[in-house]
Amino acid sequence: MILSSHIFKSTDIPKVRADFSFFLFMSLLFLLRESCEVWGIIMVCLLHESGHLIMISLFGIRIKEIRLSGYGINIITSKNAADSDWKNVIVLLSGPAVNILLFFLLRNSFHDTAVLSLSAGIYNLLPYSRLDGGAAIDTLILGNIHEKTINAVLTFIRISLIAVSASMVYVYGIRVFPVMAAFVVLYLSQHGLHRV
């Protein structure tokens, strides 16, 4: 994290913090995409986060902080020993579930938004700890006797995603560069995460 600033802080509501990487990513989006596409992406992301917030609310979990970064929006909740791993996995997967549901609801009338929503859902299911899918996998495999083997397979998948996205930049040009950049940054940050 290069720069972080607290946008809003109160004892009654969660802290909201924005990292420099969030502003950098948004700037890249506006530079490389049409503004109507960017607003579509923002709307899809907000609907994704609403899926998490609905499940958090249903489970009665308290939100401590909301972090905006180049990886996306991270909702930090209070840890409670009574919360099961499955409850956490359901909260993590509820965001991508909303995106995939929206795809099926909007595909005939709002095709572009539907495709954006499906893309966001699939992206968030990728096996990186900073994304919902990877965090859900981490929750389920932690302490498992096959944890090292699973992590080796996940590392191979992550490297393959970088290779595929690099070839897409070569074939389709600069428009898909943010995808490759995201995979590289996610990979680097994945290996910067140390488990206790």
Note the pLDDT tens digit of each residue in 61-103: 888 878 887 767 777 777 765 567 888 889 899 999 999 999 9
Q: What range defines the domain where residue 22 resides?
A: 4-192
Model confidence pLDDT, tens digit, residues 4-46: 545 545 556 777 878 777 777 777 767 766 777 778 777 888 8
Q: Which amino acid is at 27?
A: S
Q: What is the number of structural domains in the chain?
A: 1
Question: Does pLDDT of 109 surpass 70?
Answer: yes
- What are the structure tokens assigned to 90, written together? 């359901």
Q: CB–CB of 35/7 below 8 Å?
A: no
Q: What is the pLDDT of residue 49?
A: 87
